Amino acid sequence: MPQTPTEGARHRATRTAPARPARTSHRAARIGVVAVAACLVTAGAFALPAQAASTLKDLAGANGKDIGFALDPNRLSESAYKSIADSEFNLVVPENAMKWDTVESSQGSFNFGPGDQVVAYAQQTGKKVYGHNFVWHQQLPGWVQNLSASAMKTAMENHITAEATHFKGKVFAWDVVNEAFDEDGTRRDGSPFQQKLGDGYIEDAFRTAHAADPNAKLCYNDYNIENIGAKSNGVYAMVKDFKSRGVPIDCVGFQSHFIVGQIPSDLQQNLQRFADLGVDVRITELDIRMSTPATQSGLTQQAADYKKVAQACLAVTRCQGLTIWGITDKYSWVPGTFSGQGAALVWDDNYAKKPAYDALAQALGGTVVTTPPPTTPVVTTPPPTTPVVTTPPPTTPPPSTACKVQYQVNSWNTGFTANVTITNTSSSAINGWTLKFTFPSGQTITQAWSSKASQSGSNVTLTNESWNGSLPAGGNTVIGFNGAYSGTNTNPSSFTLNGTACSLG
């Protein structure tokens, strides 16, 4: 399925990079951020609130945070896409459906149909809608760019008013102005709004949006402002000025298009200094790209990076949550913009969870719990006067288990990632499980997530973590691991759960 255009990438280490065509949508990740040391995913049991949560949505909600994704409503017809969208997120951002060129391609003629689809989907699945966006120099119809200054001001105000009014009460927050700053912290000189209306257009846009929908949260959104530097300082000064003068700005979005191993070391500090101005902050367009094909080390570092971003948000009270810019690598904007790079999202091309999923779940799941070893009471028995015959307690066989196992693998070079779905097909709950199988081609596990792995020769044993050991009747859990192989990577042909053979599905 061809990729929907996403927002214009930016190679902006210098200002000489050519602009992308208006229909490309999406944002280049950070250029020139300081590389930081790998922050490896910490193993350990996590204490989850009340009942163990099994989705990112449940975990984020338990922490009072949003976990969102960018939606193209046309992809909801794909069952795997829709299943993840339905179950894993509590917030949705329209990828392109609410941008100017979609909503008002001809002056005064409004098309709210695609945006209405996003809203309808969110209402059906109990999600919030974060609007994106009113004013941006890209994906902007030619008729706007060709207007005189006074006509452009009127057109901008009319566009904001019409769209905000149409979605009033349905969209809780808006990116009012998007990407209005250059890398040196000055206003973007390539924007037609900046060229014709000057600095005042941003304030005008926020006041217009507030007048149209006083209850909506109004945000400024940009990329390459995740660290403390010239560009973020420019945005910080604007927000500080707006707050001091009563301009209705409620939040700042940090896009966070990152490269593996290059999460800013001062991300949390930067989020906090904006929050201290009296605005909410949020990670709005998170993806973390790498050179492709993905390697084991790249996936491991990516997982650590996703975890680090989530932890930075969780550490800042006014950070409202994270939005991932898409679901699956299959539709990511990155490969079409950065040749030889991609694999930036949490699900791979085949909708299998990557290590980044488990890292996010761990970051959102609670605090690490260290359980002390059990204390065995000492019993002193006087020596018997007559011979004592000790009979060992009877061995209780594990309960009968009906199960199904689905094994999905993504191989590259001499490495692979496997995702294993275990389903309890019996009528009784399973409390604690052990999955066993044999590798037919001498494969070895190098890293596991959502389970504890041990291997003796070709024989593999996987046992549950503390938070996913209970499988209700009809319930399932997804676990995974990275592995290495040479020659062939043949799938295991049989699995047992608690000693009972499982069907394959």
pLDDT (0 to 100) of residue 25: 41
* Mean pLDDT score of the chain: 84
Report pLDDT digits (tens) over 144-169: 999 999 999 999 999 999 999 999 99
pLDDT (0 to 100) of residue 15: 30
The stretch 227-242 carries a mean pLDDT of: 98
Residue 188 has pLDDT above 90, yes or no: yes
Burial group, residue 402, by CB count within 10 angstroms (0-12, 13-18, 19+): middle
Which residues pair with residue 420 across a beta bridge? 407, 479
> From CA 348, how far away is CA 293, in angstroms rounded?
12
Which residues pair with residue 480 across a beta bridge? 419, 449
Task: Match 């196992």 to its residue by tokens.
Answer: 405
Task: Match 């009072």 to its residue by tokens.
Answer: 64
* The overall pTM is greater than 0.75: no
- Residue 247 — very low, low, confident or very high, per pLDDT cuts 50/70/90? very high
Residue 24 has pLDDT above 80, yes or no: no
Order the strands of the 503-504 sheet from edge to edge: 444-449, 476-484, 415-424, 403-412, 503-504
47 vs 64, more confident: 64
User: CB–CB of 470/429 below 8 Å?
Assistant: yes
What is the dihedral angle through the alpha carbons of 252, 256, 261, 262, rounded to the nearest 10 degrees? -60
> From CA 362, how far away is CA 309, in angstroms rounded?
12
Closest CA to 268 of 222, 307, 216: 307
Q: Which residues of 130-142 are buried (b: 16+ CB within 10 A; e: fewer)?
A: bbbbbbbbbbbbe
Beta strands in 325-443 (DSSP E): 341-342, 403-412, 415-424, 430-431, 434-438
- Give one DSSP letter per residue of 227-238, joined into a string: SSSHHHHHHHHH
Residue 34 has pLDDT above 60, yes or no: no
pLDDT (0 to 100) of residue 126: 97
The stretch 25-32 carries a mean pLDDT of: 38
190 vs 470, more confident: 190
Residue 359 has pLDDT above 70, yes or no: yes
pLDDT (0 to 100) of residue 401: 58
Residue 285 has pLDDT above 90, yes or no: yes
pLDDT (0 to 100) of residue 383: 43
Residue 71 has pLDDT above 90, yes or no: yes
Rg value, the chain, Cα: 26
The stretch 201-226 carries a mean pLDDT of: 98
Q: What are phi and psi of 412, to 5 degrees?
A: -150, 140
> From CA 267, how far away is CA 261, in angstroms rounded?
13
Q: What are phi and psi of 399, to 5 degrees?
A: -60, 150
Report pLDDT digits (tens) over 73-94: 999 999 999 999 999 999 999 9
**Catalytic site residue 78?**
no
Residue 399 has pLDDT above 60, yes or no: no
The stretch 381-407 carries a mean pLDDT of: 53
Token pair listed for 124: 């059906």
Closest CA to 493 of 440, 454, 444: 440
Q: What contacts 191, CB < 8 A, 6 or more positions away?
A: 137, 180
> From CA 209, how far away is CA 415, in angstroms rounded?
51
> From CA 92, how far away is CA 255, in angstroms rounded?
15
Task: Match 């299943």 to its residue by tokens.
Answer: 83
Query: For residue 166, what is the enclosing H or E element?
Result: helix 149-166
486 vs 466, more confident: 486
Options 7, 104, 285, 465, the catalytic residue: 285
User: CB–CB of 71/95 below 8 Å?
Assistant: yes
CA distances from 359 to 46, 132, 331 (A): 12, 27, 22
